[in-house]
């Protein structure tokens, strides 16, 4: 369990620790999926799922935050900043 996933670095580090202990995780649970690229062009979550063969489940993702802010008055500037950030570092996946 982790609070946020960005590039997936922390998850990879923890997987090494879990493996060294002889255990096998069933899934990764994260609070916020920032929908960022991993080490390649796919999302960090997709990379973790493919590399370790386990699901990554997030409670909320960046699209949820954007949708919420778009429904609020006066948040256009914040939405634009988030979209600019995602255009640079992210992938648009659910």
Q: What is the pLDDT of residue 93?
A: 60
Residue 10 is assigned to a structural domain of this protein: yes
CA dist 18 to 21, 45, 84, 86, 89, Å? 5, 18, 36, 31, 28
Whether 27 is covered by a domain: the verdict is yes
94 assigned to some structural domain? no
pLDDT of residue 43: 85
Owning domain of residue 41: 2-89
Per-residue pLDDT at 36 = 85
Q: Evaluate if residue 42 carries a pLDDT over 90.
A: no
Residue 72 lies in a domain: yes
Total of domains in the chain = 1
Residue 76 lies in a domain: yes
Q: Cβ(58)–Cβ(32) under 8 Å? A: yes
Answer whether 69's CB lies under 8 Å from 79's CB. yes
**29-65: string of b/e by CB count within 10 Å (b at 16+)?**
ebebbbbbbbeeeebbbbbbbeebeeebebeebbbeb
CATH at residue 66 = 3.40.50.2020
Average pLDDT (4-8) is 70
- In this structure, is residue 73 part of a structural domain? yes
pLDDT value of position 23 = 94
pLDDT of residue 3 exceeding 80, the answer is no
């Amino acid at each position: 369990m982790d609070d946020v996933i960005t590039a997936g670095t922390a998850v990879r580090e923890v997987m090494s620790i879990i493996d060294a202990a002889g255990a096998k995780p069933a899934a990764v649970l994260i609070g916020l999926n920032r929908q960022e690229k991993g080490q390649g062009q796919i999302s960090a979550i997709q990379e973790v799922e493919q590399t370790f063969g386990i699901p990554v489940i997030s409670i909320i993702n960046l699209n949820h935050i954007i949708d919420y802010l778009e429904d609020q008055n006066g948040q256009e500037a914040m939405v634009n900043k988030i979209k600019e950030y995602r255009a640079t570092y992210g992938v648009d996946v659910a």
